Structure 1
Amino acid sequence: MAITQTSNTTPTQDAAALVGRVFISMLFLPAGWGKLTGFAGTVGYFGKIGVPMPEVAAAIAVVVELLVCLLFLVGFKTRLMAIILAVFTVATAFLGHAFWKVPPEMVMAQQTNFFKNFAIAGGFLAFFAFGPGRFSIDKK
């Protein structure tokens, strides 16, 4: 079933959607590149914090943060990419920011990051709901 945008957007909305895709991608693309270029360190860190199958998880993280986010950035299959990124971001909240497992002095920072991940996922869900705007491959 194809999801299509049923309403027209204004140039301001289209520009805001493009800037929104750029801003949100600025978080994921450098993180993915860092994981790729420091893959062994990423695997080690994932193992240290208890991520299951750290090698597989690191590879998935690289693919999502680089490839899926790049497709989201250019607006290709934007709604699908937004759902994948939303699910990934919520999963990483639980895997990487488990504030209930950390020492008391780390709770506030981890809790903030946990809920920031949910806020980011909310942004992705908005793109799923409303689409990428006209300045995207999907709209060409």
Structure 2
Amino acid sequence: PSRYTFQGRSRRPAKDIFNAGINYLYGMLYSIVEGALFSVGLDPHLGILHADEYNKPNLAFDLIEPFRPWADRLLIEMCMDKHLKESFFTKNQYGIFLNKEGKAFIIPAFNDFMRSTTTYLHQESTVKNHIYFTAGRLAQRIRVVMEG
């Protein structure tokens, strides 16, 4: 639908409602990824692909990449089903932001999605468990490389 059109990615600040929505979903996804990394004993701040930048969760930036399309798909489905309302967003001189009403809609939808079942790497599990499994595989691979 036309109200969701955008010219490209805009992060801080978002310049349209689609980018405001995807920015918020990515933020929630980052927290899941960071938790998965911590759970397997990895420091989210030590990057592999993303350059080490002080006080940034570079490894989380690395590990989130295969899961971004899931957040994209969730937002696209919200747009196609016309569940994402313009009233969910606040515009000011700095940009467009998800407001309290929008967060009250998006957070439960994201959590439901994290609990949904999907097949990834030939395994069926919840979306959230796939993220944790992938973090575990990364930790295992790093340990093998470190041991020689």
TM-score, normalised to structure 2, is: 0.28
Relative contact order: is structure 1 or structure 2 higher (C-alpha 8 Å, sep ≥ 6)? 1
- Which structure shows the bigger proportion of residues in strand conformation? 2
TM-score, normalised to structure 1, is: 0.29
